[in-house]
Structure 1
């Protein structure tokens, strides 16, 4: 004999998504305007000075502008309510946005690497003072953008956008250093070498975000959950005999779901046990969508409650 229990049967009961907070939208819009506006200036400066460091920074900022646009759209979609066609809602739009932004970043790293290697074998003349001046302004712009986004860093999509901006900040610092070295010593290879260093730093952070977002999309177990330990803890609860088919996965960046079959001995204790398990999972594991199916032994043959072949109890 078995029954299925969860927090609610209504698909909307778990996902009361509201419109994104106005402050969060303002941060993203403000950062988008800062980034896109300065990227145009930096492209002109990079072409004028001949600096790959500046051009790579400008290209990075343009991908940032695209990333911020994706973040804004994904944030809006993610807060749509659940529906008959999307019973879990649209929370995964934020994960898709973060993954798409990460792929943009990987493409940018590839472009910077190829350009830097070409400059190493065929160096060009770079105006050191011009590079320093333009990159210094870019550094201030990136600091302002990072400050805006840091107030919303709990959001995965905003974190992806912040990663773009921090990469820009590193590129601006690299461009300043490259300009200073060229101005003081005339050593031109510093420009592509620092570009390669920045590309490596960006790659490391971006790859982490790619792994996190793809893990969530593949319904991997959340990083804060030890599946074996959780199974043992559920089985150790009074009234639970065994745990089967335990699954834990992300619905969205901040939403975790769990489903499992529990073998129990006393069906009449199930409502109390279910409430206890739900409270424990919410408090200790931040799992807010719980579906538990209890199974208990059938009565022995001949017992008044034993079902007959036609489904009617004796």
Structure 2
């Protein structure tokens, strides 16, 4: 039995994308959005504006989505070193982004249904009050977007690799969706006030729902592929194989590379060779091809002549 300290051969799965500043900024956005939601609902009741009421409750769904974002950050942080998660909590932020994307789809559906209803059953709108509150909502949304965007730019700066924080991206998309609906509402309300185009308001609602659905689809596509352990891109996978087979007479017989976090990969690779090397030798060969945080390499000594590559297509 080994009596030595095994720590040098072990590593912790602490690579989960847990951005402390991202959590703090998202909390600020949540508070600002919640305050704006209360103002719009109160104004809608006071001014008899269904448009403001609808936008207020619409912002309420985003408050819920931001709550999911905060929960994902804190859950990932709390369990970052837990042995219950085989590859760490890197996918928690991805799951948060996926849940928020689903919420966006629901928001878009409700917007579309409400807009279609108003095409056939027009609502009386007090334009001056509605425009004023809509402008306030837009300003708040732009402020929230700047808060989240500044964190995104911070992650891209410096010499560190860029983190694709799907949790933060989901929050950012929610803010953009709110800003878009505010812009469309202001445009429609202004046209309705000055030109009498009352039906433009629900039409803009349908347009906004379509754009939000497109944003949500992109986020769902990105996050679901990670949650389902989709394989690494073909080009990167080919480069890994090429790097390994360029050394001596190595032949890769089996390779599985998949994402375990927004930017982190795990891998299982089998190599056949006449000249086996220490495992660390093979890991060093592929360190530049992808951010592989957990790699298992199986080395098999070739006993026949010659060792030929297998067809992996």
TM score, norm. by length of structure 1: 0.83
- Decide whether the 8 Å contact of 1:127 with 1:179 is kept in 2: no
Aligned 1:204-283 pairs, distance under 5 A: 204-222=214-232, 226=235, 229-230=238-239, 232-267=241-276, 269-271=277-279, 273-277=281-285, 280-281=286-287, 283=288
Superposed CA deviations along residues 38-72 of structure 1, whole A, max 9, x for unmatched, are 01111233445565553443233212111111111
For residues 98 and 48 of structure 2, the distance between their equivalents in structure 1, rounded to whole angstroms, comes to: 33
Aligned to 2:137: 138
Question: What SS does the corresponding residue of 1:226 show, helix, strand or coil?
Answer: helix
CA contact (8 A) 2:239 2:289 kept: no
Bigger Cα Rg: 1
* 2:179 counterpart residue number: 169
Aligned equivalent of 2:198: 188
Q: Contact conserved, 1:52 with 1:116, CA < 8 A, in 2?
A: no
Query: Is the contact between residue 257 and residue 288 of structure 1 (CA under 8 Å) also seen in structure 2?
Result: yes
Indicate whether 1:289 and 2:288 are aligned. Answer: no
Unaligned runs of 5+ in 2: 1-7, 153-163, 306-313
Name structure 1 gaps, 5 residues minimum.
Answer: 1-7, 301-314
Distance change (3 Å), C-alpha of 1:236 and 1:162: same
Which residue pairs with 2:25 in the alignment? 27
CA separation of 1:121/1:90 partners in 2, compared to 1, >3 Å: closer, same or farther?
same
SS in 1 for 2:289: helix
How has the CA–CA distance of structure 1 residues 27 and 9 changed in structure 2, closer, same or farther, with 3 Å as cutoff? same
The superposition leaves residues 224-257 of structure 1 with CA deviations (integer Å, 9 ceiling, x where unpaired) of x526523541453212432122111111112111
Q: d(CA) in 2 for partners of 1:228 and 1:24?
A: 31
Alignment of 1:39-188 (within 5 A): 39-49=37-47, 53-79=51-77, 80-153=79-152, 154-188=164-198
Gap change, CA 1:274 and 1:57, over 3 Å in 2: same
2:259 is paired with a residue whose SS is: strand
Shift of 1:20: 4.5
What is the rounded CA distance, in whole Å, between the counterparts of 1:199 and 1:51 in structure 2?
Answer: 20
**Structure 1: 4+ residue segments shifted above 4 A:** 16-20, 47-53
Q: In structure 2, the residue corresponding to 1:152 is in which secondary structure? A: helix
Q: Secondary structure at the match of 1:87?
A: coil
The separation in 1 between residues aligned to 2:123 and 2:52, in whole angstroms, is 13
Q: CA deviation at 1:271?
A: 4.6
Paired position in structure 2 for 1:311: none
Deviates more, 1:98-107 or 1:145-154: 145-154
Per-residue CA deviation, residues 185-219 of structure 1 (Å, 9 max, x unaligned), is 12211111111111111110111001111110000
Cα distance in 1 between the residues matched to 2:265 and 2:280: 23
SS in 2 for 1:84: coil
